[in-house]
A and B are shown apart, each in its own frame.
Chain A
Amino acid sequence: MFWETVFLALREIRRNVMRSALTTLGIVIGVAAVITMVTLGNGATAQVTSEISSLGSNLLQVRPGQGPRGPGGKRSDAENLKMADAEAINREISGLTAVAPVFSQGAQAIYGNENWATTVSGSTNAYLTVRNWTLEKGRDFTDREMRGGRTVCILGDTVRDELFGGQNPIGATIRLEKLSCEVIGVLKSKGQSSMGSDQDDFVLIPLRTIQRRVAGNQDVQDIFVSTKDGVSTTKVKADIERLIRERRHISDDEDDNFNVQDMQEIMSTVTGTTRVLTALLGAVAAVSLLVGGIGIMNIMLVSVTERTREIGTRLAIGALEREVLMQFLVEAVVLSCFGGLAGIALGLTAARIGAGSLGIPFIFNPGIVIIAFLFSAGVGVLFGYFPARKAARLDPIEALRHE
């Protein structure tokens, strides 16, 4: 009897293909929207996660001032970190793999006729370790170059591309403002960061070189610290905070005038944000599913009115109330399930195209597909019930008289 009813519903739908298609359109769009949004959201989360972990795992960043760097930040009024701070961290904190003090400054890089505005970062080889950089070509700094503040540099991939194009840059001399540097290495490209900036757009020179030739002091802007695997970054963070407070003579009732950022913390914050956004987009899309359900209810009500005589005939012939109820309910559910399936196909296609054009990975999530399908079936039950009950409760005599 159940399959009989499903078959009957299918026939009824086929009888009115155009109307059925339009009826389900709401569900199709709703399901497609949910699937597209959630799939793209998951892709974005995965993208952000992989980018943040490419910054370096177990990474801590010590900065002067409070809050994030940037316009409006409190960076300017806070005293810079000193070279000695980095040395102290390296000496006194346990569980570290590398400590990289950094001093960066914007500069014009010139080679021949090529000219490129970029960032010059002064640091040590430890910088390559903490930030997970690998060399594409050439070599890193020697101890002598680092200690002696030699004019050598390692290029990020973007700078290499802008200045040298297809040529081999190793051994060439470029100018960074007034500084002439020999290129000794090129870094493997990392591409765009999750914040949208080009990670490859910088030139690395020894810290001592930039301090002596450009800054004229022993200051550093950031100290990157990477911890050993299995060491709690939370504990290391607390240790560093205590050490720097001590070195800066901050009394107990004063706030820090520096901050230590834990990349894992940032990662969980950022992925948390994208997850919330994904859920929000999914929820908005789910609303359109409900609207689709109302469309189904509307058409089912029209259908019940249109088929009043048929219902009267069925009741007269001996159909039970629940058999008529089932007939119309199954029809609504079959309709919405068709809509669900079409929506899944459409949504996955849209998500695939969207992921391709946004440059984020396409992550197929069977869970959301199943949920969206069940949800659309549920919408069919929910919004099909009222018209179906109306049909089942019809008085056979009046229904037979209906024109």
Chain B
Amino acid sequence: MSMIDSNRKTSDALIELESISKVYGTGGAAMHALRGIDLRIAPGEFVAVMGPSGSGKSTCMNILGCLDPPTAGSYRFKGVKVETLSRDQRAVLRRHFLGFVFQGFNLLKRTSALENVELPLVYRGIPAAIRRTKARQALDDVGLTGWASHTSGELSGGQQQRVAIARAIVTQPEVLLADEPTGNLDSERSREVMALLTRFNRDRGITIVMVTHEPDMAAYADRQIHFTDGVIDHRHQGGIE
């Protein structure tokens, strides 16, 4: 509702979606995943994205994560029009400003925790010695001191997700996109993960956008956004002013 001033050049928003739509397929088989989304996220916000499956929240996350271009509409990330970027340019944007945490952790198999955390630094072209130091620091930050040489198979689910968080924050991204980060974890591990995310949000000012099904987890966020049938359902909004 507060999007009336959308044509004003806003310098305070980190993420600005304007009437974003996404259509898969064409003609009669076309599937409208998103139907005109307007969304602004300010730096340092912690936003929970909720909604039933098929409501468009995953599609929206993929667009926010610059993994998928929108069919129509405008997406400004730090003022950059993402829809005009090439595939490789979006990759560069991701490697410099975005961190990803997935439901299934997606750590490299048979690879040590330390090497997993180093991975995004490799693509930034950071020398090995500095990489190692930073990765160790990130593992310390998620409370996995001493687990650096363990491979993902040797770690519990909660530990794997913490390695994944270390991998996401080691580059000091502006935005961390978490897709059901607690989906595969029990409530105890979930709380640990949420504590970590909250801490990085509060202490480091990392903007977090998190998809979740669980209201308990969404409650950690500053703001909740509900998706229904490809649009943001504003009735649910404003739980927190």
Contact = CB atoms under 8 A, between A and B. Distances in A.
Interface in B105-126: 106, 108-110, 119-120, 122-125
B94 A400 contact: no
A321 B94 contact: no
A323 B109 contact: no
Contacts of B106: 309-310, 312-313, 400
A309 B120 CA distance: 16
Contacts of A370: none
Contacts of B92: 318, 320
Contacts of A400: 102, 106
B1 to A, nearest CB: 31
Nearest to B93: A318
Interface residues of A, number: 20
Interface string A30-42: 0000000000000
B70 interface: no
Q: For the complex, would chain A's binding face be called helix, strand, loop or mixed by DSSP majority? A: helix
B100 interface: yes
Interface size class for chain B? 20 to 34
A175 interface: no
Interface string B82-107: 00000110011111101010101010
A318 B123 contact: yes
B55 interface: no
A98 B108 CA distance: 83
A4 B93 CA distance: 22
Contact of A321 (B87, B95, B104, B125): B87
A319 B91 contact: yes
Contacts, number: 56
B19 interface: no
Interface in B165-208: 167
Contacts of B65: 316
Interface in A268-322: 309-310, 312-322
A397 interface: yes
Given A318-B92, A319-B91, A397 B68 contact: yes
Among A310, A313, A322, the most chain B Cβ lie within 10 Å of the Cβ of A313
A316 B119 contact: no
Given A309-B106, A310-B109, A316 B88 contact: no
A238 interface: no
A317 B88 contact: no
B219 interface: no
B122 to A, nearest CB: 6
Interface string A206-233: 0000000000000000000000000000
B87 A323 contact: no
A316 B125 contact: no
Given A397-B62, A397-B67, A400-B102, A318 B110 contact: no
B93 to A, nearest CB: 8
A321 B88 CA distance: 7
Contact of B110 (A15, A316, A317, A320): A15
A313 B109 CA distance: 12
A384 interface: no
Nearest to B108: A310
Interface string A386-403: 000000000011001000
Nearest to A393: B87
A1 interface: yes
Nearest to A1: B125
Contacts of A319: 91, 95, 123
A313 B67 CA distance: 11
A396 B124 CA distance: 18
Contacts of A317: 94-95, 100, 119-120, 123, 167
Contacts of A312: 106
Nearest to B121: A317
B67 A316 contact: yes
Interface string A63-85: 00000000000000000000000
B110 A314 contact: no
A324 to B, nearest CB: 10
Interface in A359-403: 396-397, 400
B94 A314 contact: no
Given A4-B122, A396-B67, A316 B94 contact: yes
Nearest to A316: B100
Contacts of B123: 314, 317-320, 323
Interface string B201-219: 0000000000000000000
3 residue pairs, one from A and one from B, having the closest CB atoms: A318-B95, A318-B94, A313-B106
Given A318-B124, A321-B91, 10 more contacts: A15-B110, A310-B108, A317-B95, A317-B119, A318-B92, A318-B93, A318-B96, A319-B95, A397-B62, A400-B106
30 contacts: A15-B110, A309-B104, A310-B108, A312-B106, A313-B102, A313-B106, A313-B108, A316-B65, A316-B67, A316-B94, A317-B94, A317-B95, A317-B120, A317-B123, A317-B167, A318-B91, A318-B95, A318-B98, A318-B123, A318-B124, A319-B91, A319-B95, A320-B91, A320-B92, A320-B123, A321-B88, A323-B123, A396-B67, A397-B68, A400-B106
